[in-house]
Amino acid sequence: MFGVLYTSHDVVSSTFAAALLATFSTAILCFVGLSWSGDKWRLPVAMVGVAALASAMHYLGATSLWLTAGKASGGIRFAGWFTVQPLQVAAVYFFARTLGKIPVAVFWRMTAAALLMVFSRYLGDAAFFNATLGALLSIGFWLYILGEMYFGAMPDAIHKGSRAVRLGYFWIRLIFTIGWAIYPILHFVDVVIGTGQAPGVIALYTLFDLINLITPSLIVLAVAGQERY
């Protein structure tokens, strides 16, 4: 991709390249952080690192397609989300799990909800069934995840943690609440209203991918370091 020239007016290429470099750098930082994270923090740190690496691979493919064919594919983006968002949800579970036992059923329910959240939007995007229905189902699964994060066993465990853990969980949960809201909104604009893969929509997807992935990953890494030292 770096052998192909593009101007600063090409917003999509610029945002794709920025996302690729940012997510890859975040993955490296998380993997390096495994060497100084405490034992109980290594699993959540590793999971957010793998999520960042998977996102980098997704953006590598998306960038190559855009530079060679001049178009974007929802299929590539959904392939990334199918890996990244369930990993993020699982990492939050193990983040809270560092403070004590949390029923494993919470992990399975949240991970399944994350997969179904992405799958519902995919079915609507691929026109396997009504796009509006797909978006509404996706919102329902997203709200279920938030319910577990606000009212389930995880917040009860977090309340017993240090100030760093409580603040980290607060900001991650806030990002999942506000940042993830952009996905059904853009899905309505992109698929239901029918703007298609417009450059503005693609750039917004990429921008919020950066916020919703990199920030929680760095928060997990920072809290792991704070708890160790």
pLDDT interval class at 145 (50, 70, 90): very high
What is this structure's pTM?
A: 0.87
Question: Of 3, 28, 6, 2, nearest to 199 (Cα)?
Answer: 6
CA 53/CA 126 separation, integer angstroms? 26
The pLDDT of residue 89? 95
pLDDT interval class at 28 (50, 70, 90): very high
Task: Kindly state the average pLDDT of the residues 56-61.
Answer: 87
- pLDDT of 3 > 70? The answer is no
Residue 94 is encoded by which pair of tokens?
């193990």
Burial of 134 (0-12, 13-18, 19+ CB in 10 A): buried
CA 27/CA 33 separation, integer angstroms? 10
Lowest mean pLDDT among 12-21, 43-52, 59-68, 201-210: 59-68
In a domain, 194, yes or no: yes
- pLDDT of 205 > 60? The answer is yes
In a domain, 166, yes or no: yes
The pLDDT of residue 4? 52
Question: Of 184, 191, 197, 111, nearest to 148 (Cα)?
Answer: 111
The pLDDT of residue 12? 78
- pLDDT of 7 > 70? The answer is no
One DSSP character per residue, 188-223 reads IIIIIS---S-HHHHHHHHHHHHHHHHHHHHHHHHH
Give the side-chain half-sphere CA count within 13 A for 200: 4
In a domain, 2, yes or no: no
Task: Kindly state the average pLDDT of the residues 15-24.
Answer: 88
The pLDDT of residue 194? 61
In a domain, 93, yes or no: yes
- pLDDT of 127 > 80? The answer is no
* Domain membership of residue 140 as a residue range: 11-228
CA 200/CA 80 separation, integer angstroms? 20
In a domain, 82, yes or no: yes
Looking up residue 122, the CATH number of its domain turns out to be 1.20.1070.10
The one-letter code for the residue type at 10 is D
Lowest mean pLDDT among 16-25, 96-105, 129-138, 185-194: 185-194
Residue bearing the bigger pLDDT, 63 or 169: 169
| Domains identified in the chain, total number | 1
Percent pLDDT > 90 in the chain is: 47
The pLDDT of residue 228? 64
Displacement of CA 105 from its chain's centroid (Å): 22
Torsion of CA 153, 155, 160, 166, to 10 degrees: 150
CA 115/CA 68 separation, integer angstroms? 30
Question: Of 72, 84, 152, nearest to 118 (Cα)?
Answer: 84
- pLDDT of 39 > 70? The answer is yes
The pLDDT of residue 36? 83
In a domain, 5, yes or no: no
CB-based contacts of 143: which residues, under 8 Å, 6+ apart?
none
